[in-house]
């Protein structure tokens, strides 16, 4: 029955257990979140007032670049893979992931990739400073830190592809008898679709950065106009990856909202089938809208119109999802524990980000919004307001199942409210800054922008400060606390709530039957 498990360091190095690996993903992700968060504080501190006070422009550019790379590739993506590792086997009634050894490997690539990226900051010439989009020709100019970044992207890409293969094979092969595809929990559905997005888009990014590497060192001219190349080609290839990437960050969050809201509304998810189709439609559309990130490069009229119309279309399936969540809440019997606060707050802030996204899709208006703080506000509303809020919700929702202990509800709610206030104080005024004409990625600004920048900086310090409450609550819950029941939540439905809390090391050694 019970196997011998190595203990101590060996347990974590050699583990093939989905729960251990899920835990490691989450610990890694939140460590990176702390690092990326500190970088955002450097940025916000410099922008507190006009003039250069704290850092040099070159270092400022490294901070904006590495902050973005760390938060996207180091925090949000691994954190959702961690959730997938913990939850997918439990939610589909499987004993573990389909490819446990590969699971170990896809995690253990990450710390090395993260270290490589951090090391770039200490190289001569510093880390990457051309923005996370690493557009050439600027990215051809950088020092060896840029090469470190390219290799980091390769490593992270390999890890993501391996993780995705594992998730797809687990979901397609290891579902309990009776669990047809259309009976799967929405979180599992979202991850199945996300995994396909990853497999289709990451190799494209790998191609783009490899071309960049050979342009930098091996005399090719893919992106050099003087050598017959095309700088705009990089942008097309990058965003062919980049736009699906946006949904890679947010689809699992949609899955989380679709788990939490029915539980606390004590009412089944509204429009399950339309949720599945909406998610698949968003995934499909994500591959034909990429050039809306680059309306100002001077595309032919037909291109500008095509990308404007296709981008606007995304509002339809996204709207369907939001309306479905609202209808799930409608005439339910709601309570507002911490996970529900995050889910409702997340739907609210994500909708703001979605609507500013709709505004950005309108090409002539985008000419004004493009590369301003309006864009910065927009993507923080979707990535923090959507993805990160869902992550916090998911952790409070499932933490009792993972640890067997209830968390401190009062502190959980305090963390939510402080983050919610701090987040909106940071990013809502940035909409106005962008509309008034403040470009993004500048270390200093003219006096007209000073007011809202002060608000934004104060909000950022409040937001990051509030996260220490989260770390404290999570740590205390892992260590001990009130015992959690099997069901944990009164309205919870799904296989993970049929096993003990904490869930046994191997969850379903005999498959449960799903009616």
Partner 1 sequence: MSISRFRLATGVIPRLVVGTSLLLVSGIAAADYALNFQQPVSSIGREVFDLHNLITIICFVIMALVAGVMLWSIAFHRKSSGRKPATFHDNTKLEVLWTVVPFIILVGMAIPSTSALLHMDDTSNSDMTLKITGYQWKWEYEYPAEGIKFMSTLATPRDQINNVADKGEHYLLEVDNNVVLPVGKKIRLLVTANDVLHAWWVPALATKKDAIPGFINELWVKIDEPGIYRGQCAELCGKDHGFMPIVVEAVSDSDFKKWANRQKGQMVAAAAAAGKSWSKADLLKQGEKVYNQNCAACHGATGAGIPGVFPAMAGSKVANGPVNGHLDIVLHGKAGTAMAAFGKQLSDVDIAAVVTYERNSFGNKTGDVIQPSQAKSLR
Which residues have a catalytic role annotated?
Answer: 67, 96, 132, 159-160, 243, 245, 247, 258, 292-293, 318, 321, 440
Contact assessment for residue 126 and residue 63, using Cβ atoms and an 8 Å cutoff: no
Residue 429, H or E segment? helix 409-436
DSSP code for 73: I
Q: Residue with structure tokens 């004409």?
A: 437
With CB under 8 A as the contact rule, which of the stretches 2-10, 45-53, 161-169, 282-290 interacts with partner 1? 45-53
Q: Which of 265, 420, 473, 474 binds partner 1 (CB under 8 A)?
A: 265
Contact assessment for residue 126 and residue 141, using Cβ atoms and an 8 Å cutoff: no
Q: How many CB atoms lie within 10 A of CB 95?
A: 17
Nearer CB in complex with partner 1: 160/372: 372
Closest approach of Cβ 470 to partner 1, in Å? 23
Nearer CB in complex with partner 1: 130/339: 130
Asked if 458 touches partner 1 (CB under 8 A), the answer is yes
Total binding residues for partner 1 by CB under 8 A? Answer: 103
200 three-state secondary structure: helix
Closest approach of Cβ 161 to partner 1, in Å? 29
Q: Which of 119, 181, 225, 500 binds partner 1 (CB under 8 A)?
A: 225
With CB under 8 A as the contact rule, which of the stretches 27-35, 66-74, 306-314, 395-403 interacts with partner 1? 306-314
Asked if 218 touches partner 1 (CB under 8 A), the answer is no
Nearer CB in complex with partner 1: 27/358: 358
Alpha-carbon distances of 401 from 190, 261, 394, 455, 482, rounded to whole Å: 21, 17, 11, 39, 12
With CB under 8 A as the contact rule, which of the stretches 7-15, 31-39, 109-117, 121-129 interacts with partner 1? 121-129
Nearer CB in complex with partner 1: 125/502: 125
* Max CA pair span of the chain: 70
Q: Which of 32, 153, 251, 347 binds partner 1 (CB under 8 A)?
A: 347
Closest approach of Cβ 371 to partner 1, in Å? 4
Closest approach of Cβ 75 to partner 1, in Å? 22
Q: How many CB atoms lie within 10 A of CB 120?
A: 27
Q: Which of 443, 470, 496, 503 binds partner 1 (CB under 8 A)?
A: 443
**DSSP state string for 35-59:** HHHHHHHHHHHHTTSSS--SS-HHH
Closest approach of Cβ 163 to partner 1, in Å? 31
The two structure tokens encoding residue 347: 């739907």
Closest approach of Cβ 58 to partner 1, in Å? 5
Closest approach of Cβ 59 to partner 1, in Å? 10
Q: Which of 41, 158, 200, 312 binds partner 1 (CB under 8 A)?
A: 312
479 burial (CB, 10 Å; 0-12 / 13-18 / 19+) is exposed
With CB under 8 A as the contact rule, which of the stretches 70-78, 168-176, 193-201, 223-231 interacts with partner 1? 223-231
Beta partners for 405?
483
372 three-state secondary structure: strand
Beta partners for 439?
372
With CB under 8 A as the contact rule, which of the stretches 78-86, 239-247, 298-306, 419-427 interacts with partner 1? 298-306
Closest approach of Cβ 199 to partner 1, in Å? 29
Nearer CB in complex with partner 1: 181/436: 436
Asked if 363 touches partner 1 (CB under 8 A), the answer is yes
Say how far apart CA 465 and CA 461 lie, in whole Å.
Answer: 6
| Site for partner 1, residues 278 to 297, rule: CB under 8 A | 294, 296-297
Asked if 51 touches partner 1 (CB under 8 A), the answer is yes
Q: Which of 95, 231, 303, 512 binds partner 1 (CB under 8 A)?
A: 231
Burial 496-510 (b: 16+ CB within 10 A, else e): bbebebbbeeebbee
| Site for partner 1, residues 135 to 164, rule: CB under 8 A | 135, 137-138, 140-141, 143
Q: How many CB atoms lie within 10 A of CB 137?
A: 15
Nearer CB in complex with partner 1: 342/452: 452
Contact assessment for residue 17 and residue 3, using Cβ atoms and an 8 Å cutoff: no
**DSSP state string for 486-507:** SS-STT--SGGGGS-SSPPSSS
Beta partners for 98?
none
Say how far apart CA 95 and CA 505 lie, in whole Å.
Answer: 9
Asked if 5 touches partner 1 (CB under 8 A), the answer is no
DSSP code for 286: T
Contacts with 184 (C-beta within 8 Å, 6 or more apart), sequence order: 91, 92, 171, 175, 192
Say how far apart CA 160 and CA 172 lie, in whole Å.
Answer: 18
Say how far apart CA 46 and CA 136 lie, in whole Å.
Answer: 26
Closest approach of Cβ 481 to partner 1, in Å? 24
Nearer CB in complex with partner 1: 271/502: 271
With CB under 8 A as the contact rule, which of the stretches 99-107, 243-251, 445-453, 495-503 interacts with partner 1? 445-453
Q: Which of 38, 53, 173, 513 binds partner 1 (CB under 8 A)?
A: 53
Q: Residue with structure tokens 């809306």?
A: 292
Nearer CB in complex with partner 1: 96/147: 147
With CB under 8 A as the contact rule, which of the stretches 164-172, 229-237, 240-248, 481-489 interacts with partner 1? 229-237
């Amino acid at each position: 029955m019970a196997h011998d498990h190595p203990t101590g360091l060996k347990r974590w190095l050699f583990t093939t257990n989905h729960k251990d690996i899920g835990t490691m993903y989450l610990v890694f992700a939140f460590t990176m979140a702390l690092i990326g968060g500190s970088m955002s504080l450097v940025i916000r501190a410099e922008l507190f007032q006009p003039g250069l006070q704290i850092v040099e422009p070159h270092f400022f550019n490294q901070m904006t670049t590495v902050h973005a790379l760390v938060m996207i590739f180091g925090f949000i993506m691994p954190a959702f893979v961690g959730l997938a590792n913990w939850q997918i086997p439990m939610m589909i009634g499987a004993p573990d992931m389909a490819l446990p050894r590969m699971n170990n490997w896809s995690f253990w690539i990450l710390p090395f990739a993260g270290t490589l990226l951090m090391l770039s900051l200490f190289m001569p010439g510093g880390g990457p400073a051309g923005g996370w989009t690493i557009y050439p020709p600027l990215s051809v100019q950088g020092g060896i830190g840029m090469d470190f970044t390219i290799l980091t992207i390769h490593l992270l890409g390999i890890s993501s592809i391996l993780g995705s293969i594992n998730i797809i094979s687990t979901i397609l092969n290891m579902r309990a008898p009776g669990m047809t595809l259309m009976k799967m929990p929405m979180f599992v559905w979202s991850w199945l679709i996300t995994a396909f997005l990853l497999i289709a888009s990451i190799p494209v990014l790998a191609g783009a950065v490899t071309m960049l590497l050979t342009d930098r060192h091996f005399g090719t001219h893919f992106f050099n106009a003087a050598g017959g190349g095309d700088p705009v080609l990089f942008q097309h290839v990058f965003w062919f990856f980049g736009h699906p990437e946006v949904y890679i960050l947010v689809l699992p969050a949609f899955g989380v909202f679709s788990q939490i809201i029915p539980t606390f509304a004590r009412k089944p998810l509204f429009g399950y089938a339309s949720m599945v189709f909406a998610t698949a439609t968003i995934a499909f559309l994500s591959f034909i809208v990429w050039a809306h990130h680059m309306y100002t490069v001077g595309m032919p009229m037909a291109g500008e119109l095509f990308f404007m119309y296709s981008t606007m279309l995304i509002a339809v399936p996204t709207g369907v999802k939001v309306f479905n969540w609202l209808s799930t809440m409608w005439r339910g019997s709601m309570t507002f524990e911490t996970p529900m606060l995050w889910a409702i707050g997340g739907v609210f802030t994500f909708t703001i980000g979605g609507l500013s996204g709709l505004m950005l899709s309108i090409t002539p208006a985008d000419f004004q919004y493009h590369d301003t703080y309006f864009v910065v506000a927009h993507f923080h509303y979707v990535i923090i307001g959507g993805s990160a809020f869902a992550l916090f919700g998911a952790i409070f929702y499932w933490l009792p199942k993972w640890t067997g202990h209830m968390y401190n509800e009062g502190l959980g709610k305090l963390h939510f409210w402080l983050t919610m206030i701090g987040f909106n104080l940071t990013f809502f005024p940035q909409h106005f800054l962008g509309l008034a004409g403040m470009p993004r990625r500048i270390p200093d600004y003219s006096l007209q922008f000073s007011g809202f920048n002060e608000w934004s900086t104060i909000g950022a310090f409040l937001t990051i400060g509030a996260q220490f409450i989260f770390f404290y609550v999570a740590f205390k819950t892992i260590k001990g606390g009130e015992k959690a029941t099997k069901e944990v939540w009164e309205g919870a439905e799904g296989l993970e709530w049929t096993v003990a809390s904490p869930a046994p090391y191997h969850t379903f050694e005999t498959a449960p039957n799903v009616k």
